[in-house]
A and B are shown apart, each in its own frame.
Chain A
Amino acid sequence: DAKTTQPPSMDCAEGRAANLPCNHSTISGNEYVYWYRQIHSQGPQYIIHGLKNNETNEMASLIITEDRKSSTLILPHATLRDTAVYYCIVRVFTSNYQLIWGAGTKLIIKP
């Protein structure tokens, strides 16, 4: 079972910041939080990951709460091309570092 919960859908106006929440209350101390997105009929695209510090890259920022039980992905200036399903995933430390996929959040960017 997925270790994360996300809202099923969200809307955001083009040009605005999109803030996507994720709960992972059972996360273990050495498990990372990953974010991927999947545009319709394409393979997932890596966005960002973090352990406990906030992270930023050219695509997005990841804010992880101090207790690590939740996180927020921020797309600073959403465009129509950011419309996709966004998956928040906890990387389980099995022998093969398996990703456990939840249902994700369908983000719709509106003009």
Chain B
Amino acid sequence: GAVVSQHPSWVICKSGTSVKIECRSLDFQATTMFWYRQFPKQSLMLMATSNEGSKATYEQGVEKDKFLINHASLTLSTLTVTSAHPEDSSFYICSFTGGLEQYFGPGTRLTVT
């Protein structure tokens, strides 16, 4: 299957700062990418869907001004958590669709202190 990378794999930041997470598809051109977050012992929650070259579509309850998504190319999408707070601490996972399959990155563990 396709390979998806995320960087960084984990990050610790102070409250009020911004953090950027990169998601790259290494061997596939992804027109649509998904961003999820996962709190401890919970399932994945879809945050937003982004299509290359257009604005992301956010799920209900996800603040678009706080979670900035940029899907600038077919192989790169970024999620920026702006003015992070401790409640934003979570596991963030990117994903993209390739035909009938969906491929996931390894995730980024964000801890806001």
Please give the residue numbers on chain A whose beta carbons come within 8 Å of chain B beta carbons, in ascending order. Answer: 2, 32, 34, 36, 41-46, 49, 87, 91, 96-99, 101-104
Contact = CB atoms under 8 A, between A and B. Distances in A.
A5 B95 CA distance: 23
Contact of A43 (B43, B93, B101): B93
B101 A44 contact: no
B98 to A, nearest CB: 10
Given A45-B104, A46-B103, A102-B43, A96 B109 contact: no
A27 to B, nearest CB: 16
Which secondary structure characterizes the binding site on chain B?
strand
B1 A98 contact: no
Contact of B32 (A36, A44, A49, A96): A96
B46 A44 contact: no
Question: Which among A43, A99, A103 has the highest number of chain B CB atoms within 10 Å?
Answer: A43
Given A96-B32, A97-B97, A103-B43, A44 B91 contact: no
B24 to A, nearest CB: 13
Contacts of B34: 96, 98
A101 B44 contact: yes
Contact of A41 (B91, B97, B103, B105): B91
B96 to A, nearest CB: 10
6 contacts: A42-B106, A44-B95, A91-B100, A101-B46, A102-B43, A104-B43
Contacts of B106: 42-43
Contact of B101 (A46, A98, A102): A46
A14 to B, nearest CB: 25
B49 A49 contact: no
Contacts of A99: 46, 102
B102 A96 contact: no
Nearest to B103: A46
A44 to B, nearest CB: 5
